Every structure is written in structure tokens, then in C-alpha cells.
Amino acid sequence: MSDASFSFAPLPCRGLTLDLSIPRIMGIVNTSPDSFHADSRLPELDAALNHARRLVAEGADLLDIGGQSTRPGYIEITDAEEITRTAPLIRALAAEFPRLPLSIDTYKPAVAEAALAAGAHILNDIHGLQGPGGPALARLAAKTGAALVVMHNDPALREAPPNTSPVPAVLEFLRRSLSIAVSAGVREDRLAIDPGIGFGKTQPQNIALLRDLAALRELGRPILLGVSRKSVFGHILPELATPADRLEATLAATALAAAQGVRLHRVHDVAPARRAALTAAALAPRT
């Protein structure tokens, strides 16, 4: 597949521009007390702010702020609680790092609106605008000039016959998401896509997608991959039983993804992921 089918153009986001000529690292800052990875549970503002500073020092190109855990079996919190967890942190980070793109990881319009008012630049929706708040999120992005990440998340995919490639269904879902965004007035150059590893898929489907991420390039939008320390690695190697065991596996997947043209990598461990992604991209065969 030719690189002409994939956008390495910059990603505009509310007055900032994220250069995607090389892989970029999105550091994860979770303010929820029940994140699946224990080391990223940062419910106190000072702890979350210090963690964010450390990720920036390690080379994070942008940060993704989340207040609602979406781990399997998660309990949904109120909009007010999620805003309390995220907006003060975003406001503090926007003041301290005015040129650093900040993403809000939420599917709730009220939370997104508060995050944008606090200084966020990117909306990251795990339902790809196809949840109840999707149209409102798209309108917020259009109104404010925020960039928008739409993720595949469709549990119906789990019912597909075994050994069927998940790629066509993922492409179809993401096309709908992109269409919803554009119809709401979001500029196409502000959109990115996420295959949604670990959401609405069996573990074999997760693995199949990781092997064929390059197939998503036909949508012409930057790909964001969020696979850091996830359970798919435990399915590959049972010895990787907990998130704490999965750093090396995450780095391997990050490198393979970067070699396939993935330009945005959402990770817990910024410094090693940055090195893995940049090395892999530099050594990847030219297509």
C-alpha cells in the first residue's frame, strides 16, 4: 500500500499543530482510582500533575487525561465527578505547558465541554461518536476546533464467525464515525482513528487487528493505538498475567505498529515507547 493513502500531514487542534512526520507519544494520565493498571491510578491532583510532568520530561508529545475508568466491569460515575477529576488537572497543565496538546478521554458531552473550557485540545471518544453523546461531541469539536479521535467499539463484532478478519467491520464502523463527524462540521484534517484494541472484540480479533493495522490506512486518517499493558498480551503469553508484567510486550507491539504507519501511540511508559516507535519507524521498509 502506498504512503500516499495515509496522512502524515499535521493534526490541527485548537490553535496547536501536532507534527506527524514521525511517531508521536501520548502519555496516559488517569485520575480514576480504579484504572486497570495500578501504577496509573492518580486520583489526587498533585500526584496526577507530578505524573504528567514526568511524562513530559520523558518525551511525551501530548497527554490523554481520563477520569472515568473503562476497564471491564467498570462502574460509571456522574458527569460532575468526572469533571471534578479532570478539569482542574487540564487547567493546570494548560497553564504550565501552553504548547502541549491535551486530550480528554471521555464519551460524555458535559465532561468534554468542561475539559475544553479548561484548555483541552483533543476529544477522545471510545464509542466513536456512535454512543448516546456522539452527536453532541461532534458538534463540540466542530464549534471549538478541537481535534477528534474516533475509536472502534462494537460488541457485535464478537459474534463474527471464528477466523473471519475483523478489519472490514472495523473499517465500516470507523467510516460511519468519520461521516458523523464531518456531517457535524468537523474538518477532516482534525480527525484521527483508533482500532479500539480491547473494546468490543475477542482476543483473537485484537491480535488479528494488531497484525494488520496498515489496512486502516485506507481511511486516510492518522491512526492512534492504545494497547499499553492490555490483557491481549496475556492471551499471547500466559506468563504476562498482570499489567505490571506487560512492558516488553507493549514495546514490541508499539514498534510493530510504528512500522505499519501508526503515528500516535497512547502509552503508560513514555520514554521506552518513544524509543521503540522512533527506531521502528526509521527501520521500516518504504512502501
Active site members: 230, 266
Alpha carbon distance 25, 264 (integer Å): 6
- Among residues 91, 88, 96, the alpha carbon closest in space to that of 119 is found at 91
Residue 51 identity (one-letter amino acid): H
